[in-house]
Amino acid sequence: MSHTVLIENGLIVTMDDKKPIIGEGYVLVEDNLIKEVGEGNLRADADETIDASGHIVIPGIITAHTHLYGILLRGANLRIRPPTDFAQVLQRVWWPVDEALTVDDAYASALSASAAMLQAGSTFFADTYSGPNSIEGSLSAIARAVREIGIRGMIAFEVTERHDSEEARRGLEETERAATELKKYATVSLMVSVHASFTVSDELIEQAVSIASELKVPLTIHVSEGLVDLYHNLERYGERTVERLDRLGALGPHTVLAHCVHVNDTELDIIAERNASVVHNPMSNMLNGVGVAPVPEMIERGITVGLGNDGWIFDPFENMRTALTVHRLNRRNPSAMDEKTVLNMATIWGAVCYGLSDLGSITEGKLADLTLIDAESLPTPVDEESVIGHLIHSIGGADVSDVFVGGRRVIRAGQLATTEPGRVTRISRERARHLWHRLQVSGDESGV
Ligand SMILES: [Zn+2]
């Protein structure tokens, strides 16, 4: 017996070009799929009917790049010498954190970060976990948390040769091991993740490319987030970062490049030619002071650009607002980026980055991943003309009322419906407390 849910009287932003905005309409969900989308009322019975009057219905937001474990540093006061450069951010903050992480930390952060994203309207994320001392079993722990929360996640272990090639071998082994396990789950999938070209050899990149192709999963890598990546490749190989990745066969339609802040026109042309995608992380880029990615130039070339949070602010609406404003400021041109483009990045383009043809828009036959937003208290009219503007200028994650993932109502009236929210907070705080303690007592000269 199939189960049907009818969401009616909503203002629907489909992100499907055929029928982009429906002033007052319905979405009929059958089991895990969108069965029908239309205007007015559907004259049929459903097992469950939801009145979406005063609500905006959008496709579940795609967070195209994140690090779930980043949530464990929220508010932490690390006793470190203040970094004045991106490489120092890695050396003084993230690499010591990576090394201190345990598999239990991976699980706890996956619980709280997944819950935070889901509550703020994001139904899918692409995560890469980095923990050289917690490799084996990390992906199983993250997958368990993703399933408990009810979000959809593509997960990966980020391989690097920062210490030695042994840690990369173990990271790839964990990836291959998880490939079999994750096949059992409808909401958790896998990708191959390489940290960044300045921490890996040519051989490792080639190996990662071949494993991704064997497993038929996407490959992701951080690209020229800071200048350190670019200078490393120029000095050692005489090539810019994208040129080196291209020589190694790493660029293709299943490759997702995170950041691409320090890329020039030649590199953008190569990315476009290879049909690789880019994920823009504007808030993280500002936090780390690395620069502004040339996103308008990417879009002009037809490169698919998704939107990510890079493990910092998990509310996708904040990231959307920043994606709108940072390029206007950077170009000193208030037309340098528009609202619809930002919304594309956060939904349909993010899905395209990872080849997810069944996500990213409210289209018949796609998976029923839907976000309902309470727009009752907005100070100005909400209609077909104004809704895109409202989504970028007025709405925040706290306005999200209900979220469906694969037809399952996982957020109900703003509350997590899948697990007890108090439990998520308790586990997350407990692990963060231990992690902070380990980071502060194991201090060396740098204080971390
Ligand atoms: Zn990242």
pLDDT at 441: 52
Mean pLDDT of 398-425: 97
Residues with CB under 5 A from ligand 1 (ion): 310
Multiple choice CATH, 61-353, 3.60.21.10, 3.40.190.10, 3.20.20.140, 2.60.300.12: 3.20.20.140
User: Residue 67 C-alpha to ligand 1 middle, in angstroms?
Assistant: 6
Question: In 3-state terms, what secondary structure has residue 252?
Answer: coil
pLDDT in tens, 149-201: 999 999 999 999 999 999 999 999 999 999 999 999 999 999 999 999 999 99
Contact 302/270 with Cβ under 8 angstroms?
A: no
Give distance in angstroms: CA of 60 to centre of ligand 1: 21
pLDDT band for position 43 (cuts 50, 70, 90):
confident
Q: What percent of the chain has pLDDT over 70?
A: 98
What predicted TM-score, i.e. pTM, was given to this entire model? 0.97
* Span 124-142, pLDDT tens digits: 999 999 999 999 999 999 9
Q: Where are the domains of the chain?
A: 4-59+362-414, 61-353
Count CB-CB contacts under 10 A for residue 421: 14
Distance 166 CA to ligand 1 centre (A): 22
225-255 b/e (C-beta count within 10 Å ≥ 16 → b): bbbbbbebbeeeeebbbbbbbbebebbeebb
Assign domain 4-59+362-414 to a CATH class.
mainly beta
CB-based contacts of 93, cutoff 8 Å, min separation 6:
73, 78, 80, 83, 448
Q: Per residue in 63-92, pLDDT tens?
A: 999 999 999 999 998 889 999 999 999 999
User: According to the model, what pLDDT value does residue 445 have?
Assistant: 41
The residue with greater pLDDT, 445 or 130, is 130
409 has which bridge partners? 404
Across 333-356, average pLDDT: 98
| pLDDT single digits (tens) 243-297 | 999 999 999 999 999 999 999 999 999 999 999 999 999 999 999 999 999 999 9
Alpha carbon of 357 to ligand 1 centroid (Å): 24
The pLDDT tens digits for 354-384 are 999 999 999 999 999 999 999 999 999 999 9
In angstroms, what is the span from residue 66 Cα to ligand 1's centroid? 6
Whole-number Å distance, alpha carbon 258 to ligand 1 midpoint, is 7
**pLDDT over 90, % of the chain:** 96
